């Protein structure tokens, strides 16, 4: 099973090298302007003094980070203790995002495998079916989910009519509802990268393993999983990171009762608090956490490959 003819390194460089910089320039400009500049602004804002009811005063201040880490009581004049409020909110968000990632993986992996093992036309149809719901706006889908799971909604009425349950299952406005929303919103982000990895997987390897008397479990854990691991990791990152900052699901399905990171940050800009430096600081702390996770992943990848 030889792969097709490989281009030699020299052919590679001489063919493409001349176009490299002009081709990449637009991307660099866009990323530089619309990503780096806002992040820098956020970083600067997080170190400024808050103006009453929104806005900032251009004076250096650590108040935002102080508020995040130290609890000085209701009136702000007690000796500082460790502030658990925001740590709790972050922990809740991480926990929810991790669970959503796990559920997406459990459902997404077999789905991706199924699609990748279909033949040409069927495969396109299955892929198409996966993406169809995502042509509808996330807000609409989240509200529809709310209609489905409410106490007297279709799901409960169906279950009641079949006699499986005698009391409606109370899901709406609970953490379970938030979890359901996150899982549902980001499932395709898990399926698609894994699909791409499985599609590239050389099934002759599975046959070879079987010929050498490997059990199905061993084939899965020793042969298949290592081969499609990059797809799984990419999928996990793509689900975990947006789940961490989600605010539609907690607001609409969770009843906005418990802040998640996203809603906490939103409140700083849109709520009565109007505390922009604190919102920026919370965003920076979230961003740093995500960067640490991604850096660890990248380092592990290079170690494995190098």
Partner 1 sequence: MKNLLKLGASALALSLAANAASAEGKLVIYNWFEYLPQDLIDKFAAEAGVEVTMDTFDSNEAMLASLKAGKMGTYDVAVPSDYMVEIMGGDGLLDTFTQDEMPNFGNIMSQQMNLSFDPERKSSVPYQWGSTSFSVNRDDYKGDIDTLAMIFNPPAEVQGKINVLDSQGEVLALGSMYLGIPQCSTDREQLKALNDMLLAAKPHWASFGSDVAKDVLVSGDASVGMIWSGFSAKAREEGANVEYAFPKEGYVVWMDNIVLLKDAPNRANALKFMNFMLEPENAAALTNFAAYTAGVNGTEPFLSDAVKSSPESNPPATPVGQLVQACSQEVQAVYDTIWTNLKK
User: Where does this chain bind partner 1 (CB under 8 A)?
Assistant: 52-55, 74-76, 85-86, 88-89, 150-152, 172-173, 251-252, 255-259, 267, 269-275
Cβ closest to partner 1, residue 97 vs residue 224: 97
Residue placing its CB nearer to partner 1 in the complex, 46 or 111: 46
Shortest reach from residue 150's CB to partner 1, in Å = 6
Closer to partner 1 by Cβ: residue 150 or 187: 150
Q: What residues contact 61, with CB distance under 8 A and at least 6 apart?
A: 47, 48, 49, 50, 277
State the nearest-atom distance from the C-beta of 240 to partner 1, in Å: 23
CB-CB contact of 105 with 190 (8 Å): yes
Least Å from the CB of residue 266 to partner 1: 9
- Of 14 and 88, which CB lies nearer to partner 1 in the complex structure? 88
Token pair for residue 37? Answer: 């500049």
Nearer to partner 1, 205 or 273 (CB): 273
Provide CB contacts within 8 A for 79, sequence distance 6+. Answer: 72
Nearer to partner 1, 233 or 256 (CB): 256
**Angle made by CA atoms 142, 136, 38, in degrees to the nearest 5:** 80
- Looking at the DSSP bridge assignments, the partners of residue 82 are 70
The Cα 226–Cα 263 span in angstroms is 37
Minimum distance between the CB of residue 141 and partner 1, rounded to whole angstroms?
16
- Shortest spacing between CB 276 and partner 1, in angstroms: 8
CA atoms within 13 A on the CB side of 190: 26
Which alpha helices (DSSP H) does 17-151 contain, by range? 20-31, 37-46, 63-69, 85-116, 120-131, 138-149
Please state the closest distance from residue 60 (CB atom) to partner 1, in A. 20
On whether the CB atoms of residues 225 and 112 are closer than 8 A, the answer is no
């Amino acid at each position: 099973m030889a792969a097709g003819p490989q281009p030699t390194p020299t052919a590679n460089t001489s063919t493409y090298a001349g176009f490299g910089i002009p081709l990449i320039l637009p991307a660099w400009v866009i990323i530089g302007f619309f990503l780096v500049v806002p992040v820098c602004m956020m970083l600067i804002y997080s170190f400024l003094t808050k103006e009453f009811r929104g806005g900032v005063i251009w004076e250096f201040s650590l108040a935002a980070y102080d508020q995040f880490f130290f609890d000085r009581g209701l009136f702000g004049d007690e000796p500082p203790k460790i502030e658990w409020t925001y740590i709790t909110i972050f922990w809740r968000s991480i926990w929810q995002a991790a669970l959503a990632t796990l559920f997406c993986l459990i459902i997404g992996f077999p789905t991706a495998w199924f699609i990748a093992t279909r033949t040409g036309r069927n495969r396109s149809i299955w892929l198409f079916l996966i993406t169809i719901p995502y042509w509808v706006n996330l807000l609409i889908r989240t509200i529809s989910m709310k209609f489905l799971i409410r106490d007297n909604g279709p799901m409960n009425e169906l279950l009641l009519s079949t006699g499986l349950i005698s009391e409606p299952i109370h899901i709406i406005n609970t953490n379970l509802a938030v979890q359901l929303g996150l899982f549902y919103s980001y499932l395709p982000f898990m399926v698609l990268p894994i699909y791409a990895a499985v599609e590239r997987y050389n099934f002759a390897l599975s046959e070879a393993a079987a010929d050498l008397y490997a059990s199905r479990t061993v084939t899965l854990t020793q042969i298949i999983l290592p081969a499609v691991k990059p797809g799984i990791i990419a999928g996990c990152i793509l689900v975990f990171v947006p789940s961490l900052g989600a605010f539609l699901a907690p607001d609409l399905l969770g009843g906005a009762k418990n802040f998640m990171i996203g809603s906490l940050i939103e409140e700083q800009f849109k709520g009565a608090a109007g505390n922009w430096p604190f919102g920026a600081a919370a965003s920076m702390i979230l961003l740093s956490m995500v960067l640490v996770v991604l850096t660890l992943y990248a380092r592990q990848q290079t170690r494995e490959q190098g």
